Amino acid sequence: MTSIDSDFAALAAKLRASTVRVVDERGRGQGSGVVWNANGLILTNAHVVRGGSALVVGEDGARARARVVGRDPQRDLAALQVDARNGLVPAEIRPAAPLVGELVVAVGNPLGLVGAVTTGLVHRSSARWVVADVRLAPGNSGGPLADVQGRVVGINSMVARGLALAIPVATVAAFLGLAAGPEGTRAA
């Protein structure tokens, strides 16, 4: 195994550790989520969870009930709170927007493939979307889009014209009501 192979494997493992599977309380949908902080706050998409609670499944298979503590359908964001924090590893968050041409990594649970990893380049980065040519499928929604250091730069939301659209970290911070950084737990 080359150095780049082992570095990428370590990056994938780091991102998988802070990515959870999110199952809507009604069992009608599922996607991914990002463990946002050590207090049990998890971010996902509003279209992934439509009720007041969800089941969260960690990389190790541990399950916990989560309450929906914030939702913004216009931004397609939802904040979940779990009480059982055992095994949850918070993601490292990068407040700066990614640059056009930057290599990014997406992790999620597309089509039942738990912890799937895909890479691509940023095509555009704005206040509304980070647009990248990573391959997303149903189940990737709510998962992290990260830089090559494993720092989350966005929350994957949808695919448009073959490109992935992720909600930038700055928009997530505004949704959470934070002025600087991911440490708070208030949700809009």
Name every residue whose Cβ is closer than 8 Å to that of residue 135 and which is 6 or more positions away in sequence: 106, 118, 120, 164
- Which tokens is 50 given? 């439509």
| Domain boundaries along the sequence of the chain | 3-82, 92-173
Report d(CA 107, CA 143) in Å as an integer: 6
Mean pLDDT, residues 160-170 taken together: 96
Catalytic residues: 47, 76, 141
pLDDT tens per residue across span 22-76: 998 877 778 999 999 999 999 999 999 988 999 999 888 889 999 999 999 999 9
For residue 175, give the 3-state DSSP assignment.
helix
Task: Please provide the CATH number assigned to the domain covering 92-173.
Answer: 2.40.10.10
How much is the pLDDT for 187? 42
Strand partners, 130: 125, 166
Domain 3-82 and domain 92-173 have a common topology: yes
The highest-level CATH class for domain 3-82 is mainly beta
- Contact (Cβ atoms closer than 8 angstroms) between residue 68 and residue 79: yes
Cut 0.85: pTM above it: yes
pLDDT tens per residue across span 166-183: 999 999 999 999 533 444
Give the torsion through C-alpha atoms of 92, 101, 155, 39, to 10 deg: 10
> Are β-strands 151-160 and 92-93 bridged in parallel, bridged antiparallel, or unpaired?
parallel
